[in-house]
Amino acid sequence: MIRIFNDFYTNKPKIVMNNGISLKELAAELNLAPSTVSRALNDSYEISEATKKKVISMAEKLNYQPNPFARSLRENKSKTIAVIIPERINYFFSQVIDGIEEITSEHGYHLLVYSTHEDVEKEKKILSLLQNGRADAIVMSVSSQTSDVSHLKRLHDRGLPILFFDRICSEIPTTKFITNDYESAFEGTKHLIQQGCKKIAFLMLSKELSITKERHRGYVDALKMSGMEPEPAFSLHCCHSDEDNTQLIWELLLSSNRPDGILSSVEKLALATYQAVKKTNLSIPDDLKIISFSNMSIAGLLNPSLTTITQPAETIGEECAKLLIKKLTKPRQPDLLNQVITIPSKITIRESTLVR
Amino acid sequence: MIRIFNDFYTNKPKIVMNNGISLKELAAELNLAPSTVSRALNDSYEISEATKKKVISMAEKLNYQPNPFARSLRENKSKTIAVIIPERINYFFSQVIDGIEEITSEHGYHLLVYSTHEDVEKEKKILSLLQNGRADAIVMSVSSQTSDVSHLKRLHDRGLPILFFDRICSEIPTTKFITNDYESAFEGTKHLIQQGCKKIAFLMLSKELSITKERHRGYVDALKMSGMEPEPAFSLHCCHSDEDNTQLIWELLLSSNRPDGILSSVEKLALATYQAVKKTNLSIPDDLKIISFSNMSIAGLLNPSLTTITQPAETIGEECAKLLIKKLTKPRQPDLLNQVITIPSKITIRESTLVR
DNA sequence: GAAAATTTCGCAAACGTTTTCGTATTTAAA
DNA sequence: TTTAAATACGAAAACGTTTGCGAAATTTTC
C-alpha cells in the first residue's frame, strides 16, 4: 500500500512508505482535536468515557500506531535498553539476555544488543553511540581489554543508568550483579585438591577483569588453606583467540612441570583445554582434572563430561532487568545504589574431576 | 552533571537529565542559525569551508551529539534493524547475528534483537511492535509454530523491507537466504547409508518449517535412491522442550523396530538424542549413527564427536546485512527481489558415524 | 560599470507526539 | 436564580532535527 502526500514546498505529490495513520489524521477522522485524541488514548481523566470509546474503536479500526520517535523526542525517553556483551557465541551471555528480555518485553521495552568481541575500542565506540539518548539505560559486561573506564564513567556522569553484571567495573558507583566468584573458585579448587590434584593451574582471560581477580583470589586462598603455594607459571593468561589459547594450554601441558588440575575461570578456556588435551596423549581425568565456570547445557555430553560451576545466568538477567524497569518506570526513583548483589553459582561434579 | 531549564509554561526551573547540547544551543554559541550549523555538520556544499571548520570544532568542543529521535522523526528512518530469531541459546543464530552486526555497525546501524522462543504468539506481538517504524527493516527466521503468515504479510505490505534466513517464509515475496538444505540432507543421509545404516530416522521440529520440508525431502530422496522406503514412524516430530524431546527419542530408541541411523534436522535434537542414548545401553556409533545440522564449534568435543552439517552462519548474516544496507542507504532502490539465495553447508565427518 | 551568476547564510515549516493553559458547557451548591 | 465548581475539549507550544526557499553579499561576465 502506498500513500500520496503533497509536499509542503513544491506542492508536488510524493510517494512515501506507509507508516500508518498519524494522530492528527486520526483526530481529523473523528472531528476532534489531536490533544483530545492523545488524551483519550492515554486514558486521561479529562476525557469522557463516550469519546474515549469512540477514539479507541476508531484507532483500532484504522490500526493507529503511535510514532515512537515523536514520543521519544517529546518524552525524552526511548523505551529501549542497551545490552553490551563481550561475545555473543556464549551460553552464559545468551542466557542473561534471555532473562533480561523476559522482563523488559513485558514492560514494552526494546533491547539493543551489541557485542564488543572483547575489543575495548569497539566498546568505546558503542558507548559513544549511546551518548545521545538512544537507550534509556545500559546493562553490560565489560570486555577483557577494558582497564581504563573513562568511557563508562562519562555515560554514568551524564546520568544514564548503567548496570554491570559478571564482569563488573568497580570504579563506577552503580549496582552490579555477580555470582559468588570468590567462593565458587575456592570451592572448585578445594574440590580439585580433594580429588588428589597437587599442581593446580588457573586459566584466565585478562588480569584486569573483575571475575579473574575474584576467582583467582578464591583459587589462591584454597591452595594456601591446603598448604600449597600458588605457582606463578600456573596462572595462565589467555586471550580471545581459541587457537592461540589451545596452543598456550598445550604448551603448558607439555612442560616438564605440568599441572594435574585446572580451574578454568571461563568456559571457552575449558574447551580450549579439551582441544589441547586431544593433541597430547594425556587423558582427562586420569592425567589432568578440570573444573570450569560454564553455563553449557551440554557439559554432560562432552568427552569426558565436564565438572562445572554454573551461574544463575537467566536469574541474573532478570534481576538486572527488574531493577532497571523499576528505576525507569516508577516516578522519582533515586540513582542506582552503589552495591554489589551476589547470586550464588552451583557446582555440578562430572567425569572431568573423577578419581578412578 | 545536571542542567537547569526553565519550563515554558510554569517558568519554574526544572531538573532534567543531561542529554547534551542541542543543535540550537550549539548554533547560539556560534552566533549562527541552526540551519547553517546543521548543514555545516552534514557537509553541505552551501556552507563555506571556514564556517564548517568553526562549527565542527565547536561541536567537538561541546561534545554535540545529534538527537536520534528528532532525526528519525524528520527523516522517517531509524538507522535500526530488527533481528528476530526463534531462540537465542543457539550457535547458529548467534553466529548469524554476529555476521549481521559486523556489517551493519560499520554503517552506523543499530540492532534490535528479539527472540520468539519458538512461540508464534510472541512472534506476532513482536511484529506488531515493529509496525510503527521503530526499525527500518527486519531480518528474521520464523518460529517453528508459524504457519499462518498474515502477521508477516502485513508488515511486508506496508513496505517494510523484510528478509528471511534459514527458516524462511515462501509466501512473502522477498529475498531469502538459506543453505542447500535439500542437498545437505541428501548427502547426510547418503553418508549414513554408506556407513551401513538400514533404518534411518529423521528428527524434526515442525512439519511447517521450510527447513524441515526441504531437509526431509533430501532425506526421503536419498533413501529412495538406495532402494529404501521411508518409514512414517521414523520421521519424528519433536517440540521446543529438551526434556520432552529426549523422552520422545528415548521411546523411539527403545521401540522394537528402532532406527540404526539418525539425521537430525536441527542441533538441539542431536543433543537430545545424545541425552536419550545416555539413558539406554545403546552406544553411538556402534548401535546408532547420527549426523546433524549443527553449528556447534565443539561438536568435536562431544562424546562421541558429532558428524555435522555446518551452515555458513556468519556469511549468511553478512549477506543479509549487505543486501539490507544497500537497500536502505542507496537512493531509489527497488524492493527486495523475490528470490532464494543458497549458500552451501559443509559436512564434517566425526566419530558419531564411524564404522568400527 | 551594470547585470548576472554564485556563494553563503537565515527563516520557518515540518516530522508526530504530549501537555499546559484557556474556555465553553454542564452540574452542583448557595 | 446566581454563583461556584466540575467536566470536557481545543489551541498552541515544545521536543531537536532537516530542508526549501528567500535574500544578502560577493564574484563573475559582458
* pLDDT at residue A356 in the model: 82
Q: Decide if B301 and A113 are in contact by the 8 Å CB cutoff.
A: no
Which alpha helices (DSSP H) does chain A contain, by range? 23-30, 34-41, 49-61, 68-75, 91-104, 120-129, 150-157, 181-194, 210-225, 242-254, 267-278, 313-329
Interatomic CA distance for residues B256 and B305, integer angstroms? 27
Best residue in B78, B298, B327, B351 for a mutation probing chain A (most A CBs within 10 Å): B298
> How does strand A110-115 pair with strand A80-85?
parallel
Whether the link from the prior residue into B312 is cis, omega within 30° of 0, is no
Nearest to A112 among B76, B110, B302 (CB): B110
> What SS3 class is residue A139?
strand
Give A-chain residues touching B303 at CB under 8 angstroms: 301-305
Whether the link from the prior residue into B232 is cis, omega within 30° of 0, is no
Nearest to B159 among A18, A78, A97 (CB): A18
Interatomic CA distance for residues A240 and A228, integer angstroms? 30
What's chain A's average pLDDT? Answer: 94
> What digits encode the pLDDT tens for the residues B89-123?
999 999 999 999 999 999 999 999 999 999 999 99
Residue A18 has pLDDT above 70, yes or no: no
Q: Decide if B303 and A304 are in contact by the 8 Å CB cutoff.
A: yes
Contact status, residue A66 vs residue A27, Cβ threshold 8 Å: no
State CA A346 to chain mean position distance.
19
Surface-to-core class of residue B48, CB atoms within 10 Å of its CB (0-12 exposed, 13-18 middle, 19+ buried): exposed
Element (H, E) at A343: none
Interatomic CA distance for residues B306 and B283, integer angstroms? 13
Task: Find and give the residue nearest to D21, measured CA to C1'.
Answer: A9
Q: Is the CB of B229 under 7 A from strand C?
A: no
Residue A6 has pLDDT above 70, yes or no: no
Nucleotides of C under 7 A from a protein CB: 7-21
Whether the link from the prior residue into B259 is cis, omega within 30° of 0, is no
User: Shortest CA–C1' contact from B36: which nucleotide?
Assistant: C9
C-alpha cell, B320: 543479509
Number of H helices, E strands in chain B: 12, 14
Check for a shared fold between B2-66 and B181-311+346-353. no
Give A-chain residues touching B123 at CB under 8 angstroms: none
Backbone angles phi and psi of A118, in degrees to 5 = 60, 20
CB proximity list for A44: less than 8 A, separation 6 or greater: none
CA-closest candidate to residue A156, choices A143, A169, A147? A169
* pLDDT at residue A304 in the model: 93
Determine the distance between B28 (CA) and D10 (C1') in angstroms: 34
* pLDDT at residue A7 in the model: 41
Question: CA end-to-end span of chain A, whole Å?
Answer: 71
Interatomic CA distance for residues A151 and A123, integer angstroms? 9
> How does strand A339-342 pair with strand A175-178?
parallel
Q: Which residue has the cell 522442550?
A: B241
Give how far B155 is from chain A: nearest CA, Å.
10
Give DSSP secondary structure letters for A82-99.
Answer: EEEES-SS-HHHHHHHHH
The radius of gyration computed from the CA coordinates of chain B, to the nearest angstrom, equals 27
Q: Where are the domains of chain B?
A: 2-66, 76-179+313-342, 181-311+346-353
CA-closest candidate to residue B109, choices B158, B70, B72, B156? B72
Give A-chain residues touching B73 at CB under 8 angstroms: 67, 69-70, 73
- Reported CATH class of domain A77-179+313-342: alpha beta
* pLDDT at residue A86 in the model: 97
* pLDDT at residue A213 in the model: 97
Interatomic CA distance for residues A203 and A220, integer angstroms? 13
Which stretches of chain B score pLDDT less than 70? 1-18
Q: Is the CB of A65 under 7 A from strand C?
A: yes
CB neighbours of residue A66 within 10 Å: 16
Interatomic CA distance for residues A355 and A346, integer angstroms? 21
Superfamily of domain A181-310+346-353: Response regulator (3.40.50.2300)
Strand residues in B94-161 grouped as ranges (E) = 110-115, 137-140
| pLDDT band at residue A128 using 50, 70 and 90 as cut-offs | very high
Nearest to A67 among B17, B133, B304 (CB): B133
Interatomic CA distance for residues B109 and B83, integer angstroms? 12
* pLDDT at residue A20 in the model: 86
Dihedral of CA atoms B334, B339, B340, B342 in degrees, nearest 10, equals -70
Q: Which residue has the cell 527488574?
A: A322
Q: Is the CB of A158 under 7 A from strand C?
A: no
Give how far A353 is from chain B: nearest CA, Å.
16
C-alpha cell, A75: 518524552
Region label for B267, one of left (φ > 0), alpha (ψ between -120 and 50) or beta (otherwise): alpha
| pLDDT band at residue A249 using 50, 70 and 90 as cut-offs | very high
Interatomic CA distance for residues B96 and A139, integer angstroms? 22
In the DSSP assignment, the letter for residue A274 is H
Q: Is the CB of B6 under 7 A from strand C?
A: no
Give how far B95 is from chain A: nearest CA, Å.
7
Interatomic CA distance for residues B298 and B317, integer angstroms? 21
> What digits encode the pLDDT tens for the residues A22-53?
999 999 999 999 999 999 999 999 999 999 99
Give how far A133 is from chain B: nearest CA, Å.
6
Question: CA end-to-end span of chain B, whole Å?
Answer: 71
Q: Which residue has the cell 522406503?
A: B229
With a threshold of 0.95, tell me whether the complex ipTM lies above it: no
Nearest CA in chain A to B91: A89
Percent over 90 (pLDDT), chain A: 93
Nearest CA in chain A to B274: A301
Determine the distance between A24 (CA) and C19 (C1') in angstroms: 16
> What SS3 class is residue B291?
strand
| pLDDT band at residue A17 using 50, 70 and 90 as cut-offs | low
Nearest CA in chain B to A87: B98
Degrees (nearest 5) of the Cα angle B66, B332, A16? 70
What fold, for A2-66?
434 Repressor (Amino-terminal Domain) (1.10.260)
The CATH architecture of the domain made up of B76-179+313-342 is 3-Layer(aba) Sandwich (3.40)
CATH no., domain B181-311+346-353: 3.40.50.2300
